[in-house]
Amino acid sequence: MVTQSGIEANPLKIKAILDMKAPTCVNEVQRLTGRISALSRFISKSAEKSLPFFKVLRKARTFEWDAPYRQAFEELKNYLAGLRLLVKPSSRDTLYLYLSTTSQAISSVLIREEEGNRCLYITSAKS
């Protein structure tokens, strides 16, 4: 959503994930990954955060929602609860580009410093 103060994630899409109960079947995990995908522009390291859910999908014949998946789901919900908004840079702003890589994903975030960091743009991809 575009507002006067910047670009922010649709609060209804965030609420949809926050209100979700832990998935009990493959279809619910697919629904979760679709919702994460819709918000991926706003989620730092979204590929890394959603990797556990894709691992569950790979084991589709034997669905098990074990402790690591429950933890990843709760961490995602906590992250989304504190999501910041993306803002447009002003001319002559000093911008900082932060990169993060793991063996499974690469992410970047463009930051403008002011009273607290303001996120301008986030990218994320999984390998």
d(CA 45, CA 123): 8
**pLDDT tens-digit series, residues 28-63:** 999 999 999 988 888 888 889 999 999 999 887 888
d(CA 116, CA 127): 31
**What is the number of structural domains in the chain?**
1
Domain that holds residue 10: 2-126
Residue 98's beta-bridge partner residues? 109
d(CA 2, CA 125): 24
What's this model's pTM, rounded to 2 decimal places? 0.64
**pLDDT tens-digit series, residues 60-80:** 788 889 999 999 999 999 888
Element (H, E) at 100: strand 95-101
CATH code, domain with 95: 3.30.70
Q: Is the pLDDT of residue 19 over 70?
A: yes
